[in-house]
Amino acid sequence: MAGGLGCDVCYWFVEDTQEKEGILPERAEEAKLKAKYPSLGQKPGGSDFLMKRLQKGQKYFDSGDYNMAKAKMKNKQLPSAGPDKNLVTGDHIPTPQDLPQRKSSLVTSKLAGGQVE
Amino acid sequence: WVGRGGGAGGGNDIQWCFSQVKGAVDDDVAEADIISTVEFNHSGELLATGDKGGRVVIFQQEQENKIQSHSRGEYNVYSTFQSHEPEFDYLKSLEIEEKINKIRWLPQKNAAQFLLSTNDKTIKLWKISERDKRPEGYNLKEEDGRYRDPTTVTTLRVPVFRPMDLMVEASPRRIFANAHTYHINSISINSDYETYLSADDLRINLWHLEITDRSFNIVDIKPANMEELTEVITAAEFHPNSCNTFVYSSSKGTIRLCDMRASALCDRHSKLFEEPEDPSNRSFFSEIISSISDVKFSHSGRYMMTRDYLSVKIWDLNMENRPVETYQVHEYLRSKLCSLYENDCIFDKFECCWNGSDSVVMTGSYNNFFRMFDRNTKRDITLEASRENNKPRTVLKPRKVCASGKRKKDEISVDSLDFNKKILHTAWHPKENIIAVATTNNLYIFQDKVN
């Protein structure tokens, strides 16, 4: 295609996008996701999803963990819940704000007529 | 249109009708009421549900009224009990959910019924028994239980059993605990009716139903270095006839068949079922959507079915390199994967089930839709579990999702689907065309139209 540098670059860009969307809707979705979260998939080591899956469950405040983490950090600031609350390690400690509400008392299931339909 | 349950597939199309719905009407769903498992027993007379609150509810089918059989017997509450309670892992400061992950019935051996129920960490064997007589006429006790003054007893009598109102009691007979570091996703009773397996993310254990303080580890896929972890176990099941054979599925879309006669630790599979993927089609989502959420053997034992995010696949145990049948559940979601990843729906674990004759398979979807695939006619249908069609014997109207372009009347567009209304758990009566479909907090029972 004749024309200046700008024109050629445009042409390639358009063709590339069209090609991508034409092949797989999945690829287009992937592009969307990567545009929103550029750091996705960059983390080395075991898969994020798998680790998250293995460690599901509400973690509670543990004074032992807290004190050990404090000792490790020495002069640095006190430990607090990391950005990923689900990660279970000694250094990630939930703060009182992160604790869930107290569970309500156990009652009969509504499937068994616990409530009139 | 769906093949008849009992016999071979044939011309007669069946029509599905609403029969019953259980649970609260209100939209405000308490977390404890979320249904987490549904299972018919071997005769189909009993239907058990488990929920997030650790409770089990068992329904029993009424004896058919032979005189006016407009429909088969209804399911009414038979027993309900608290199976699991919330617990706390003090070592890790983690809460252990009481949610019932699976219920499996034992075949009936005597008057009582037995089932296994499991949460993330502990499996329990429950005995459900009926009491319809009670002893009366004690010499030393009054009828209300108070003790009599022995000096007032002048004659003796023999206590006798007299009928009483039926009482159904559930009692925990065995508790199988402390054998799983990770979260239990499956339990499966062996065809020997003496042993069963329990599977968590990385290990599978073999138990004897009578022994609670010991279990054998038969599969261990935990890597020496957790940084090397690439896949987890997602489901496991014993073969219905071969007591030495079981399968387990993975988050990478593979199924391994193991033979316990080969070695004590079945880390090496006897067969590996995997459909080859075209590497040029690979995307960020490929592995996630290939993760198998459920695996079920056919009643015949010749086939097994797997459910991944978008499809249901039927595998012939004699052929490892690809499934013999593939059914698309909701292919229109492929162009929505980005948002389904963002709202976590892409991680939803749908189950699947066979009908009694292995001619039809069923699985759930979103918007309270569920799908059935007839393996003989190759026809499929989408139905909805909704209170709108709740008059008994109302025939359900087939639903259709419009993927793109012009939406026809009565069709629903992909963007209007309610992704919070998911049908993850369904069950098919072992002999009849009766199905149990669980929405978030309601249990629907449908049956075929009986003339």
B171 touching A (Cβ < 8 Å): no
B27's tokens: 């939209």
Q: Who wins on pLDDT, B128 or A37?
A: B128
pLDDT at position A100 over 60: no
Q: How far apart are CA B48 and CA B115, in angstroms?
A: 9
Q: Report the residue from B33, B183, B336 with minimal CB separation from A56.
A: B183
- Mean pLDDT for the stretch of residues B44-63: 96
- Closest-CA residue of A relative to B281 is A24
Distance (Å) from the C-alpha of residue A7 to the closest C-alpha of chain B? 30
**Look-up of token digits 């009692």:** B171
Q: Who wins on pLDDT, A50 or A20?
A: A50
Instruction: Name the average pLDDT for chain B.
Output: 92
pLDDT at position B77 over 80: yes
- Mean pLDDT for the stretch of residues B207-223: 97
- Mean pLDDT for the stretch of residues B382-391: 89
Q: With contacts defined as CB-CB under 8 Å, which chain A residues touch B288? A: 49
- Mean pLDDT for the stretch of residues A2-10: 40
Residue B21 lies in a domain: no
pLDDT at position B53 over 60: yes
Q: With contacts defined as CB-CB under 8 Å, which chain B residues touch A54? A: 182-183, 201-202, 229, 232
Q: What pLDDT score does B68 carry? A: 57
Is the Cβ pair A49, B227 closer than 8 Å? no
Count of all residues that appear for chain B in the document: 451
Q: How far apart are CA B417 and CA B435, in angstroms?
A: 23
HSE-CB for B80 with a 13 A CA cutoff = 19
Is the Cβ pair A41, B57 closer than 8 Å? no
Q: Are B305 and B296 in contact (CB under 8 A)?
A: yes
Q: With contacts defined as CB-CB under 8 Å, which chain A residues touch B335? A: 25-26, 28-29
Distance (Å) from the C-alpha of residue A74 to the closest C-alpha of chain B? 23
Q: With contacts defined as CB-CB under 8 Å, which chain B residues touch A29? A: 283, 285, 334-338
pLDDT at position A19 over 70: no
Q: How far apart are CA A8 and CA A19, in angstroms?
A: 17
Could you tell me the CATH number of the domain that includes residue B58?
2.130.10.10
Q: What pLDDT score does B404 carry? A: 78
Give helix A25-36 / helix A5-23 axis angle, nearest 10°.
120
Q: What pLDDT score does B390 carry? A: 76
pLDDT at position A6 over 80: no
Q: How far apart are CA B123 and CA B188, in angstroms?
A: 11
Q: Report the residue from B23, B231, B337 with minimal CB separation from A110.
A: B23
Q: How far apart are CA B284 and CA B254, in angstroms?
A: 18
Confidence band of A40 (pLDDT split at 50, 70, 90):
confident
- Mean pLDDT for the stretch of residues B331-337: 95
pLDDT at position B90 over 90: no
Torsion region of B23: left, alpha or beta (phi above 0 gives left; psi -120 to 50 gives alpha): left
Residue B30 lies in a domain: no
Confidence band of A105 (pLDDT split at 50, 70, 90):
low
B80 touching A (Cβ < 8 Å): yes
Q: Who wins on pLDDT, A91 or B342?
A: B342
Q: Give the Cβ contact number of residue B129 at 10 Å.
A: 15
Confidence band of A104 (pLDDT split at 50, 70, 90):
low
Q: Who wins on pLDDT, B179 or B92?
A: B179
CA distances from B248 to B181, B232, B252 (A): 18, 10, 12
Distance (Å) from the C-alpha of residue A3 to the closest C-alpha of chain B? 34
Residue B382 DSSP code:
E
A67 touching B (Cβ < 8 Å): no
Annotate B244-313 with DSSP letters as a single string.
TEEEEEETTS-EEEEETTT-SSTTS-SEEE-----GGG--TTHHHHH---EEEE-TTSSEEEEE-SSEEE
- Mean pLDDT for the stretch of residues B340-355: 96
B262 touching A (Cβ < 8 Å): no
Q: What pLDDT score does A50 carry? A: 81
Question: Mean pLDDT: which of A96-105, B282-291, B403-412 is highest?
Answer: B282-291
Query: Which of A15-24, A35-44, B102-111, B298-307 has the lowest average pLDDT?
Result: A15-24
Cβ burial of B418 (10 Å; 0-12, 13-18, 19+) is exposed
- Mean pLDDT for the stretch of residues B423-438: 98
Confidence band of A37 (pLDDT split at 50, 70, 90):
confident
- Mean pLDDT for the stretch of residues B218-235: 93
Q: What pLDDT score does A76 carry? A: 55
Q: Are B317 and B303 in contact (CB under 8 A)?
A: yes
Question: Mean pLDDT: which of B82-96, B143-157, B166-180 is highest?
Answer: B166-180
Q: What pLDDT score does B11 carry? A: 35
A57 touching B (Cβ < 8 Å): yes
Is the Cβ pair B286, A26 closer than 8 Å? yes
Torsion of CA B201, B207, B212, B215, to 10 degrees: -70
- Closest-CA residue of B relative to A49 is B288
A26 touching B (Cβ < 8 Å): yes
Number of folded domains that form chain B: 1
Q: Which amino acid is at B418?
A: D
A-facing residues of B in 23-62 (CB < 8 A) are 23-25, 30, 32-33, 35, 49, 51, 53-55, 57
Q: Who wins on pLDDT, B354 or B450?
A: B354
Q: Report the residue from A30, A53, A88 with minimal CB separation from B232.
A: A53
Q: A–B: how many Cβ contacts below 8 A?
A: 129
Q: Are B245 and B258 in contact (CB under 8 A)?
A: yes
B440 touching A (Cβ < 8 Å): no
Confidence band of B179 (pLDDT split at 50, 70, 90):
very high
Q: What pLDDT score does B64 carry? A: 72
Residue B81 lies in a domain: yes
Q: Are B118 and B101 in contact (CB under 8 A)?
A: yes
Q: What are phi and psi of B323, to 5 degrees?
A: -70, 155
Q: Are B279 and B327 in contact (CB under 8 A)?
A: no
- Closest-CA residue of B relative to A61 is B93
Is the Cβ pair A45, B227 closer than 8 Å? yes
Q: Who wins on pLDDT, A51 or B24?
A: B24
Distance (Å) from the C-alpha of residue A95 to the closest C-alpha of chain B? 13
A35: Cβ contacts below 8 Å, ≥ 6 apart: none
Q: Are B54 and B85 in contact (CB under 8 A)?
A: yes
Q: Report the residue from A29, A60, A107 with minimal CB separation from B337.
A: A29
Query: Which of A101-110, B10-19, B88-97 has the lowest average pLDDT?
Result: A101-110
Q: How far apart are CA B173 and CA B109, in angstroms?
A: 15
pLDDT at position B223 over 50: yes
3 state DSSP class of B109: coil
Confidence band of A41 (pLDDT split at 50, 70, 90):
low
Task: Provide the whole-model pTM.
Answer: 0.85
DSSP count for chain B of H helices, then E strands:
2, 32
Distance (Å) from the C-alpha of residue B226 to the closest C-alpha of chain A? 7
Distance (Å) from the C-alpha of residue A6 to the closest C-alpha of chain B? 31
- Closest-CA residue of A relative to B346 is A49
Q: Who wins on pLDDT, A13 or A98?
A: A98
Domain boundaries, position B204: 38-142+164-383
Q: How far apart are CA B314 and CA B298, in angstroms?
A: 9
Is the Cβ pair B23, A50 closer than 8 Å? no
Q: How far apart are CA A29 and CA B288, in angstroms?
A: 14
Is the Cβ pair B94, A60 closer than 8 Å? yes
Q: What pLDDT score does B211 carry? A: 98
Residue B370 lies in a domain: yes
Q: What pLDDT score does B210 carry? A: 98
Any bridge partners for residue B353, and if so which? B362
